[in-house]
Amino acid sequence: MLPIKTETLFFELALTLYFIATIIGVIGLFKGKKDTFKSILVLAIIGFILHTANIAVRYIEGGHIPITNLHEGASFFSWCIVVLFLLLEYRYKIRLLGSFIMPIVLVLMLSSSMFPRGISPSLNPVLKSYWFGIHTILAFLGDAAFAMAAGIGVMYLIQERYVKSKRLSGLFQKLPSLQSLDEINYRLISLGFPLLTLAIITGVIWANTAWGTYWRWDPKEVWSLITWLIYALVLHLRLTVGWRGKKAAGLSIIGFILVIFTFFGVNLLLKGLHAFV
C-alpha cells in the first residue's frame, strides 16, 4: 500500500508549480516575452503530471475515484481545468492563456489544501454505483469547460476595452483578436453545455436508482439546473438573437460564478443529499 504522505508530496509539489506558473503569468501580462509563456506551459505540464500522480495514489489508496470530499473535489476540478488548458494551448497556442487560467487553478488548489485530506476507506452505500463516476466526471469536465470560457471571456473584455480606447499597443498586441476569443468562448460553452446536460441526466437516473425518485429539489440539483439554464440562455441568445462578443463574454463569466457557488456555496452553506462526506 502506498503511503499517504506520497500523495501529499505530489499534491504540494503540483500546488507549488501552479503557484509559480501563476506568478509568472501575472507578471507576463505586463513584461512577458515569448520564453515567459513557454515557462508557464512547462510548469503547468510538470505540475499536471505530479497532480495526476496525486490523484492516482489516492485512487489506489481508497479504491475509488477520489472525488468524495471537498479536498478531492476541488483538486479534481482544478485537474480537469489543467487538462483543457493544455489541450486548448496545443490547439490554439494562445500566449496569454495561462495568465488567465492558472489563477483559477491556483485558487481551487489552495481551496483544496484547506479542507481535510483524509482518504475515505469506504464509500457511502449510495456512492457504490457506476453512475457515481460517470455523473461526477461529466459534471467536472463540463464545469472545467465553463472555467475556461470564463477565462477567455475576461480576455475578451480586456481586449475589447483596448480596441474601444484605441490603445493598440502593449497587452493588446499579446491578446488574440476579438473574433478569435469570441469563437473560442462559444466552442468551450458548446463543449461544457452537453457535458453538464449529460451530468444532470445521469444524476437523475442515479437518483431514481438510489432513492426511488428522479428529482428531490436538493440544493445542488436546483443550483445545477439554474447554471444549466444560464448556459442554455447563452447558446439560445447567440443562435437566435446573435448575442456575441461582450454580452456572451459577460454571461460566460456570470455562469462560472454560479458554477463556483454550486460547488462551494451549496456544499458549505446549503446542506443536502449532495454534500461531500
12 and 106 share a domain?
yes
117 and 153 share a domain?
no
Band of residue 1 on the pLDDT scale cut at 50, 70, 90 = very low
51 and 148 share a domain?
no
**Residue 48 counted as domain residue:** yes
Number of domains present in the structure of the chain: 2
169 and 225 share a domain?
yes
Helix (H) or strand (E) holding 163, with range, is helix 130-165
In this prediction, residue 2 carries a pLDDT of: 46
Structural domain boundaries enclosing 15: 1-122
User: Residue 128: what are its φ and ψ, rounded to 5°?
Assistant: -80, 65
Checking if the pLDDT of 3 tops 60, the result is no
221 and 191 share a domain?
yes
Asked which of 122, 153, 183 is the last residue of a domain, the reply is 122
In this prediction, residue 270 carries a pLDDT of: 67
Beta-carbon contacts of 5 under 8 Å, excluding residues fewer than 6 positions away, are: none
Band of residue 272 on the pLDDT scale cut at 50, 70, 90 = low
Rounded-to-integer distance, Cα 93 and Cα 153, Å:
17
**Residue 127 counted as domain residue:** no
156 and 42 share a domain?
no
Q: With pLDDT > 90 as the criterion, what percentage of the chain qualifies?
A: 61
Specify the higher pLDDT residue, 132 or 169: 132
In this prediction, residue 165 carries a pLDDT of: 85
Report the mean per-residue pLDDT for the chain.
89
Asked if 143 and 263 count as a contact pair (C-beta separation under 8 A), the reply is yes
In this prediction, residue 229 carries a pLDDT of: 94
pLDDT mean over 40-67: 94
Helix (H) or strand (E) holding 221, with range, is helix 219-240
240 and 189 share a domain?
yes
155 and 276 share a domain?
yes
**Residue 255 counted as domain residue:** yes
**Residue 132 counted as domain residue:** no
End-to-end Cα separation, the chain, in angstroms:
23
Q: Can you give the three-state secondary structure of 165-194, one letter per residue?
A: HCCCCCHHHHCCCHHHHHHHHHHHHHHHHH
Beta-carbon contacts of 127 under 8 Å, excluding residues fewer than 6 positions away, are: 64, 68
**Residue 134 counted as domain residue:** no
Q: pLDDT digit string (tens) for 201-236?
A: 999 898 888 777 777 788 888 899 999 999 999 999
Band of residue 196 on the pLDDT scale cut at 50, 70, 90 = very high
- For the entire predicted model, the pTM comes to 0.92
Band of residue 20 on the pLDDT scale cut at 50, 70, 90 = very high
Rounded-to-integer distance, Cα 277 and Cα 257, Å:
24
In this prediction, residue 277 carries a pLDDT of: 42
User: Residue 204: what are its φ and ψ, rounded to 5°?
Assistant: -65, -45
pLDDT mean over 14-27: 96
**Residue 107 counted as domain residue:** yes
**Residue 135 counted as domain residue:** no
In this prediction, residue 51 carries a pLDDT of: 98
Checking if the pLDDT of 124 tops 90, the result is no
Rounded-to-integer distance, Cα 102 and Cα 44, Å:
8
